[in-house]
Structure 1
Amino acid sequence: MDSSTHKLYHVHDFDSRQCLEHYFSDKPDMAFGEDSLNFLIENLRQLFAVGHIKGEILIDISLGSFVHHLYSACEFFKNIIVLKVNNRCIMELKRWVDERTGAFYWGHTSTLLQEKEENSDQFQDQEEKLRSAIQHVVKYDLEKENMTDPLVLPPADCVISALLLDVINKGQDDYIRYLRKFSKLLKPGGHLIIIGSLGATYFTVGKDKFHAYTYDEDFVRKALVGEGFIINYCKVKERTAVSDLTDYKSIIFIAAHKK
């Protein structure tokens, strides 16, 4: 299958549960633990621990239905609004939020966070804290001027976008256009946190291959500065996973605030 036949995450049917099993589960053969679990949790924990990023509202607009990247955030924001691209992702997330039968198991990720904290006792109920903090799960349409139309969201103190900008665009212009849309969700001075996969061309979910936009660290930095952001924090981790499910070369974690 050449790249021109790869599916698009936000256009074609996307199996969010299969994505969780491939890239975020606790299965022994899950190859992405260091990259998709540990790296996200550790960098968000460190970033929020400094205390500069906090407030009333955090908006998360990320790929699929994973939640572990929000554990530390719920300690610093009263309300978390999660935006999802399709009903399948929404249902998968709500199954976990509502503690329904068959919800995806995230205990291995909350344990990871506990192990990193000196006072781990305060994090023993982290999943419950996060469930309580997620106030709304909202469907969005990238092509609308107001992505959540007819709902108008309140301006956010912080926006997190994990692995989404990689898969919703076909090139540089699209990336910057969607970055601008995410920026509009922020208050003046608000913070944007982006987690992305560098050098990728595809990722696999079930039997389907999905398109990924290939870019590097320099491109992300220039795109953020060009949209009026000041970069505060950046870490890049070289890939450790051995798997042909996806071909990214490294993971980038970058945080910036709006001028």
Structure 2
Amino acid sequence: MMDCGPKKFYHEHDFNSRDHVETYCSDKPDMVFADDSLKFPMVNCHYMFSSGFVKGDVLIDLSIGSLIHHLYPACDIFKNIIILKLNERCNMETSRWKDTRTGAFTWNHASAHAAKLEGKSDQVKDKDQQLKTAISHIILCDFGNENITHPVVLPLADCITSYSVLEAISKDEDDYVRNLEKISKLLRPGGHLILVGVLNASYYMVGREKFHVFDCDESFVKNALSKLGFIIDYCAVKRRKNDSKLIDYKAIMFITAYKTK
């Protein structure tokens, strides 16, 4: 069953991005995380973008694995979406979906949910193509560099979305703040940062492999944002109700913060 060896880091070790997305974000009947990992971030993103609260031209996304479903609500607003990935396998999996290649993971269930949120349930295929068209680049990045996209210099984003990357790559509190600061450097002053992440977790499983999660709580994340000059505009926390030993999180948080400088 579970690997009892040392926990791995998804950006440093072999990470099967297809197994990851099949486990935590598929439409399989036995996928117990739908409300938390799929619907919760999409509902909140839809609220933030459709209300006009978060807007602009350039959105940069930095999310774990090959997750893109939270971006469906954004593509009505942002016409230039740049996706950053931390390893080649996740990059290839995301590119395979964008290019509609044979064998690509299908996000039809997510695009259907996005269309439903917009009251356009008859436009599922249009929603999927709209997001693919909005994505201009999929780029590898490296948190070992001060500029994580080195040697590429990106335009400062009007919005950055980040789904579970910080807790997946950060070893401790100081590391989390350093990584958050590197992400914030890609955001223009006055822009918005949207973080989606699990709280009070220590591991998650992908296949037989156990991966690291930095154990943080709501207070720590809010303090880290404040420390770096962000003002929190919106926060929603959903307590876990599903039962699974694949991951040990207690809640999932969606937070939107305004960069003051």
Q: Aligning the two structures, in what range does the TM-score lie when normalised by the shorter sequence? A: over 0.9
CA contact (8 A) 1:54 1:76 kept: yes
- After TM superposition, the score normalised by the length of structure 2 is 0.96
Q: Secondary structure at the match of 2:167?
A: coil
CA contact (8 A) 2:112 2:121 kept: no
Q: Secondary structure at the match of 2:166?
A: coil
CA contact (8 A) 1:198 1:216 kept: yes
- Write out aligned runs for 1:6-17 (5 A): 6-17=7-18
Unpaired runs of 5+ residues, structure 1, are: none
- Write out aligned runs for 1:105-116 (5 A): 105-116=106-117
Residue aligning to 2:96: 95
Unpaired runs of 5+ residues, structure 2, are: none
Equivalent-residue separation in structure 1 for 2:13 and 2:3 (angstroms):
17
CA contact (8 A) 2:108 2:124 kept: no
Q: Give 1:118 shift.
A: 3.0
Equivalent-residue separation in structure 2 for 1:125 and 1:47 (angstroms):
21
Q: Give 1:59 shift.
A: 0.2
Residue aligning to 1:216: 217
* Amino acid across the alignment from 2:239: E
Equivalent-residue separation in structure 2 for 1:157 and 1:201 (angstroms):
32
Equivalent-residue separation in structure 2 for 1:220 and 1:197 (angstroms):
11
Residue aligning to 1:51: 52
The answer as to 2:83 corresponding to 1:82 is yes
Residue aligning to 1:256: 257
C-alpha spacing 1:2/1:25, structure 2 compared with 1 (3 Å):
closer
Q: Give 1:119 shift.
A: 4.3
Equivalent-residue separation in structure 2 for 1:146 and 1:225 (angstroms):
22
Q: Give 1:121 shift.
A: 4.5
Q: Secondary structure at the match of 2:21?
A: helix
Residue aligning to 1:205: 206
CA contact (8 A) 2:66 2:94 kept: yes
Q: Which digits, 9 at most, give the CA deviation of each residue in 1:73-114, with x for residues without a partner?
A: 111111000000111001100100000000101111111122
- Write out aligned runs for 1:15-164 (5 A): 15-121=16-122, 124-164=125-165
* Amino acid across the alignment from 1:14: F
Q: Secondary structure at the match of 2:103?
A: coil
Residue aligning to 1:166: 167
CA contact (8 A) 2:3 2:209 kept: no
Equivalent-residue separation in structure 1 for 2:99 and 2:160 (angstroms):
23
Equivalent-residue separation in structure 2 for 1:74 and 1:123 (angstroms):
13
C-alpha spacing 1:174/1:41, structure 2 compared with 1 (3 Å):
same
CA contact (8 A) 1:84 1:90 kept: yes
Equivalent-residue separation in structure 1 for 2:111 and 2:75 (angstroms):
13
Equivalent-residue separation in structure 1 for 2:137 and 2:240 (angstroms):
33
Equivalent-residue separation in structure 2 for 1:63 and 1:224 (angstroms):
20
Equivalent-residue separation in structure 1 for 2:218 and 2:39 (angstroms):
20
Equivalent-residue separation in structure 2 for 1:224 and 1:99 (angstroms):
37
* Amino acid across the alignment from 1:39: F
Q: Which digits, 9 at most, give the CA deviation of each residue in 1:230-254, with x for residues without a partner?
A: 1000000001221111000000000
CA contact (8 A) 1:202 1:212 kept: yes
Q: Which digits, 9 at most, give the CA deviation of each residue in 1:133-171, with x for residues without a partner?
A: 000000001010111111111100000000111110111
Instruction: Report the aligned-residue RMSD.
Output: 1.5
Equivalent-residue separation in structure 1 for 2:24 and 2:251 (angstroms):
15
C-alpha spacing 1:17/1:119, structure 2 compared with 1 (3 Å):
closer
Q: Which digits, 9 at most, give the CA deviation of each residue in 1:176-196, with x for residues without a partner?
A: 000000100011111000001
CA contact (8 A) 1:189 1:257 kept: yes
CA contact (8 A) 1:3 1:211 kept: no
Q: Give 1:226 shift.
A: 0.8
